[in-house]
Structure 1
Amino acid sequence: MKKIIYILLAGCFLTTACEKELDIENPNEPIVEAFWQNANDATAGVNAIYSTLHRGSISRWMPFYHIIRSDVGRSTSPATDIVNNMDQFLVTDYNYGNAYGIWNDNYVGIFRANQVIANVPSIEMDEELRQRLMGEALFFRAFFYYQLVSLWGNVPLMLKPSTPNDQPGTSSQEEVWAQIEADLIAAAEGLPAVYPDAEDLGRVTKGAAKALLAKAYMQQQDYTAALSPLEWLVEGEGSGIYELTSNYRDNFLIFTENNVESVFEWQFSENPTEFTDNDIETPNHNYGTSIAQFFGPSGIGWSDGEAHRWVVREFLNETTTEGERDPRLEATFLYDSTDVRGPEFTMIYGQTFAQRYGLENNRVWFRKFQNDHWKDGEGYRSPNNWRYIRYADVLLMYAEALNQTGSTGEAYQHVDRVRQRAGLALLSDVMPGLSEADFLEQLKHERLLELSGEGHRWNDLARWGDLGPELADRDPGFLTFDVGKDELLPIPAQEIDINPNLEQNRAWR
Structure 2
Amino acid sequence: MKNHLYRYLMIASLSCLTVGCSDDVLDEFPKDKLSSEKFWTNPEDAENSLVVAYERLNLGFWSHTEVAFVVENFGSDFVQAGSDVIANYPDQEAFDMYSVTDNNGRLEDYWNRQYRGISAANLVIHHVGKMTEEQISTDQKNKIVGQAKFLRGLYHMRLLMNWEKIVVFDFLPESADELLQPLSEREAVWAAIEKDFTEAAADLPATWDANNKGRATKGAALSFLGKAYLHQHKWAQAEQALKQVMDLGVYGLAPDFASLFDGSNELSNESIFEIAFTDKQVAGSAVEYAGIYNVAATEMGGWEAMLPTQSLLNEMKKEGKTSKKGKYDARLYGTLFFDDPDVSIYGKTYDDVFGEGNTKIAWKKYLFRSIAPWDAPRKYRSNINNVLMRYADVLLMYAEALNEQGKSGEAKVYVDQVRARADMPATTATSQAQLRAQIMHERAVEFALEGQRFYDLRRWGDEVMTTAIRSSASRGFQNFNAAEDKFLPIPSSEKANNPKIQ
Report the TM-score when normalising by structure 1: 0.87
Cα deviation, 1:58-96, whole Å, max 9, x if unaligned, reads 5542222222210110013213514542111012x4121
1:213 aligns with 2:217: no
Q: Which amino acid aligns with 2:318?
A: N
Of the three residues 170, 176, 180, the one matched with 1:167 is 180
Give the C-alpha shift of residue 220 in structure 1.
1.0
Do the aligned partners of residues 99 and 271 (structure 1) sit closer, same or farther apart at CA in structure 2, a change above 3 Å counting?
farther
After TM superposition, the structure 1 stretch with the greater mean CA deviation from structure 2, 164-173 or 469-478, is 469-478
Give the C-alpha shift of residue 17 in structure 1.
7.0
State the alpha-carbon separation in 2 of the partners of residues 454 and 498 from structure 1: 33
> In the alignment, which residue of structure 2 is the partner of 1:280?
none
Give the C-alpha shift of residue 421 in structure 1.
1.3
Determine helix, strand or coil for the equivalent of 2:239: helix
Cα deviation, 1:375-421, whole Å, max 9, x if unaligned, reads 52364531101111111111000000000111111100000101111
Q: Which amino acid aligns with 1:292?
A: I
Of the three residues 103, 112, 125, the one matched with 1:104 is 112
Structural mapping, 1:59-98, within 5 Å = 60-76=66-82, 77=85, 78-82=87-91, 84-91=93-100, 93-98=101-106
> In the alignment, which residue of structure 2 is the partner of 1:446?
442
After TM superposition, the structure 1 stretch with the greater mean CA deviation from structure 2, 72-81 or 45-54, is 72-81
Cα deviation, 1:336-361, whole Å, max 9, x if unaligned, reads 33xx346xxx325x765434421222
> In the alignment, which residue of structure 2 is the partner of 1:369?
366
After TM superposition, the structure 1 stretch with the greater mean CA deviation from structure 2, 49-58 or 145-154, is 49-58
Do the aligned partners of residues 160 and 496 (structure 1) sit closer, same or farther apart at CA in structure 2, a change above 3 Å counting?
same
> In the alignment, which residue of structure 2 is the partner of 1:496?
495
1:399 aligns with 2:399: yes
State the alpha-carbon separation in 2 of the partners of residues 307 and 182 from structure 1: 37
State the alpha-carbon separation in 2 of the partners of residues 326 and 405 from structure 1: 28
Cα deviation, 1:356-375, whole Å, max 9, x if unaligned, reads 42122222222221125335
Structural mapping, 1:24-423, within 5 Å = 31-56=35-60, 57-58=63-64, 60-76=66-82, 77=85, 78-82=87-91, 84-91=93-100, 93-123=101-131, 124-162=135-173, 163-164=175-176, 166-195=179-208, 197-234=209-246, 236-237=247-248, 240-273=249-282, 286-299=286-299, 300-318=301-319, 319-337=322-340, 340-341=341-342, 346-347=344-345, 352-375=349-372, 376-377=375-376, 379-423=379-423
Q: Which amino acid aligns with 2:157?
A: Y
Determine helix, strand or coil for the equivalent of 1:371: coil
Q: Which amino acid aligns with 2:117?
A: G
Determine helix, strand or coil for the equivalent of 2:267: coil
Structural mapping, 1:401-480, within 5 Å = 401-427=401-427, 430-431=428-429, 433-434=430-431, 436-465=432-461, 466-468=464-466, 471-476=469-474, 477-480=476-479
Contact 2:354 2:360 in 1 (8 A): no
Give the C-alpha shift of residue 223 in structure 1.
1.1
Q: Which amino acid aligns with 2:202?
A: E
RMSD of Structure 2 on Structure 1 (CA)? 2.4
Determine helix, strand or coil for the equivalent of 1:256: coil
Q: Which amino acid aligns with 1:335?
A: F
Give the C-alpha shift of residue 486 in structure 1.
0.8
Do the aligned partners of residues 470 and 250 (structure 1) sit closer, same or farther apart at CA in structure 2, a change above 3 Å counting?
closer
State the alpha-carbon separation in 2 of the partners of residues 285 and 58 from structure 1: 17
Q: Which amino acid aligns with 1:486?
A: D
Do the aligned partners of residues 404 and 233 (structure 1) sit closer, same or farther apart at CA in structure 2, a change above 3 Å counting?
same
Cα deviation, 1:157-177, whole Å, max 9, x if unaligned, reads 112334555212111111111
Contact 2:70 2:92 in 1 (8 A): no
Contact 2:64 2:289 in 1 (8 A): no
Determine helix, strand or coil for the equivalent of 1:47: helix
Determine helix, strand or coil for the equivalent of 2:387: strand
Percent of paired sites with the same residue: 30
> In the alignment, which residue of structure 1 is the partner of 2:484?
485
Give the C-alpha shift of residue 289 in structure 1.
2.1
Do the aligned partners of residues 380 and 52 (structure 1) sit closer, same or farther apart at CA in structure 2, a change above 3 Å counting?
farther
Contact 1:293 1:302 in 2 (8 A): yes
State the alpha-carbon separation in 1 of the partners of residues 252 and 282 from structure 2: 36
Cα deviation, 1:6-26, whole Å, max 9, x if unaligned, reads 3231314655479xxxx9x9x
State the alpha-carbon separation in 2 of the partners of residues 127 and 252 from structure 1: 37
Do the aligned partners of residues 365 and 322 (structure 1) sit closer, same or farther apart at CA in structure 2, a change above 3 Å counting?
closer
Contact 2:469 2:480 in 1 (8 A): no
Determine helix, strand or coil for the equivalent of 1:468: helix
State the alpha-carbon separation in 1 of the partners of residues 286 and 455 from structure 2: 29
Report the TM-score when normalising by structure 2: 0.88
> In the alignment, which residue of structure 2 is the partner of 1:506?
none
Do the aligned partners of residues 115 and 148 (structure 1) sit closer, same or farther apart at CA in structure 2, a change above 3 Å counting?
same
State the alpha-carbon separation in 2 of the partners of residues 381 and 498 from structure 1: 36
After TM superposition, the structure 1 stretch with the greater mean CA deviation from structure 2, 218-227 or 57-66, is 57-66
